[in-house]
């Protein structure tokens, strides 16, 4: 997303708004510090994307995962003791 100085935004506001309405948002800055972000109204809100592997080392999958509780599940479905 590009950043424009507030003076440039004043001069080219119509062009910048048309650009934002077309999907190209921008940031207005003053003295190099961002002040506001301009995005189209129908733009979906930004989603926080979880990075792949963020739980690595915190979860363990047992070797018998595919057959865990098989006997109990079969009893629930088919009845039995």
Give the class (CATH, top level) of 2-38. Answer: alpha beta
Predicted structure pTM score: 0.50
Q: Can you point out the beta strands (E) in the chain?
A: 2-5, 26-30, 33-38
Q: DSSP for 15-38, please give it.
A: HHHHHHHTT--EEEEETTEEEEEE
Residue among 55, 3, 46, 50 at smallest CA distance from 25: 3
Summarised one tens digit per residue, pLDDT across range 30-79 is 999 999 999 888 767 777 777 888 888 898 888 999 999 999 999 999 88
């Amino acid at each position: 997303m590009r950043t424009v100085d507030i003076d440039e935004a004043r001069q080219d506001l119509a062009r910048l708004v048309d650009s934002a309405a077309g999907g190209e948002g921008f940031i207005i800055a003053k003295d190099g510090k961002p002040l506001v972000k301009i995005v189209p109204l129908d733009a979906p809100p930004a989603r926080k994307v979880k990075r792949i592997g963020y739980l690595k080392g915190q979860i363990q999958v047992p070797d018998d995962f595919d057959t865990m509780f098989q006997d109990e599940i079969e009893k629930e479905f088919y009845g039995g003791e």
